[in-house]
Structure 1
Amino acid sequence: MARARPITDEDKRRVRDLHAAGESRNAIAKAIGRSGATVSKIADELELSFDREAVRAATEAKVADARARRAALMLDLLDDAARLRAQLWTPHTYVDHGGKDFVREVWTQPEPTAQDKLKLMQATATAANTSMKLEEHDTGAGGVDGAKSMLGALAAGLQAAYDQLPPDGDAGD
C-alpha cells in the first residue's frame, strides 16, 4: 500500500497563493497535483476557508431551473391528457394491411373501438397522474407531510367544535 506524500512548505505556499487568487478547492488541488482532501487539510491548517456562496447560488439556480422545467412538463402532460381524452368521442380511422395479398383497407368509425377507448383512457390517466406527481413534488403536497398537515387541521377543527359545545349541565334540561 502506497504511503501518502508528505505535505511540504511549497504545497502550503501554493495553496495560500492560489486561495488568495480566488481559486476553488478543486482547482487548487488540480494545480498542485494533490487531492481535494489534502488541500482542505492544508487550508484548515492555514485557517483559510473556501466561500461556498457561489456554489450555493449555482445550486439554487439549478433547482429553480429544474422546477420551471417540471412545471412546463406538468402543463404539457395535462394538455396531452386532454387531447387523448378528446379522442374518445371523435371519429377514428383504422387501417388494415391484412390478408394473404396484404391488401390495404381503410375505414372510419364514429368512435374508437372499446379496446382503443380503454387504451386511450389508460394513456390519459398516465399523463394526468404524472402531471399531478410533478405538482406534488414541487408543492410538497401529499406524502407523510401532507397527511400530517391534514390531520393537524382536522384536530384543530374538532377542538374548535368541542370548544363550542355547551357545558354538561347546560344542555337545556
Structure 2
Amino acid sequence: MGSKNPVTDAERERVRELHAAGMGRNEIATELGRSGRTISEIAKGLGLSFARAAQVQQATEIRTADLADRRTRFAVELQDLAERELKKVNAPHTYFDWGGKDHDFDTYEAPEPTPSDKRALLGVIATAVDRSLKLSPPEQDTEGLAAVDAWLKGMMGG
C-alpha cells in the first residue's frame, strides 16, 4: 500500500476525529483504506498516540474540562436565579386563597411579601449564591493581596 496517493489534509483531520472518538490505529486504517504504518505516521505528525495510557489521559483531561465548563454554566444559572429571587423580596406580591364554605378562589395583591415569605425568598437566594460560589469560586486577586501585604509591611517597618 506504500504506493498509494499522498495523505490529504482531510485524511489527517479524519484521523484526528476517529482517534478522538476512541478508535484504534487498525480500525482507523481500515476505515480510511490506509496501512497501519501510514496511520501511525499521521498520528505522530498530529501529536497523537495510540498508547492506551495516553488515550485515557487525554479522555480524562477532556472530560475534566467539560465538567468544569458545565459547573461554571450551572453556577451562572444559580447566580441568575438568586438575582431574580432578590428582586421579589420588596416587590408587590400576589397571594391567593382557596377555601371557605363555597370553596372560592381569591387573589389579592400585597405591597410586598410577608416577613415569613421574605425569609423563604432569602433562604433560596442564600442557597443559590452559596452553591454558585462552591461550583465556581471567585478568583483571588493575588496582585491586590500582594500590594496590600507590601503596604502593611511598609507601614510596620518591614
TM-score (norm 2): 0.57
Of the two, which has the highest radius of gyration? 1
Counterpart in the other structure of 1:102: 103
1:53 aligns with 2:54: yes
Counterpart in the other structure of 1:129: 130
Counterpart in the other structure of 1:92: 93
- What's the CA shift string for 1:109-141, capped at 9, x where partnerless? 1111111111000100010111011113x96x7
Counterpart in the other structure of 2:74: 73
Q: 1:52 and 1:164 mapped to 2: Cα distance? A: 54
Q: 1:127 and 1:118 mapped to 2: Cα distance? A: 14
Amino acid at match of 2:92: P
The 4+ residue runs of structure 1 with deviation greater than 3 A are 19-22, 156-165
Unaligned runs of 5+ in 2: 1-23, 28-50
Q: 1:159 and 1:123 mapped to 2: Cα distance? A: 39
Q: 1:129 and 1:66 mapped to 2: Cα distance? A: 19
Counterpart in the other structure of 2:30: none
Q: 1:53 and 1:161 mapped to 2: Cα distance? A: 50
Q: 1:81 and 1:20 mapped to 2: Cα distance? A: 50
Amino acid at match of 1:61: I
Amino acid at match of 1:63: T
Q: Shift in Å at residue 161 of structure 1?
A: 4.0
TM-score (norm 1): 0.53
Judge which range, 79-88 or 89-98, deviates more: 89-98
Q: Percent identity?
A: 33
Of the two structures, which has the highest relative contact order with CA contacts closer than 8 Å and spacing of 6 or more? 2
Unaligned runs of 5+ in 1: 1-18, 23-49, 142-148, 166-173
How many correspondences in the alignment?
109
- What's the CA shift string for 1:9-57, capped at 9, x where partnerless? xxxxxxxxxx9958xxxxxxxxxxxxxxxxxxxxxxxxxxx53111111
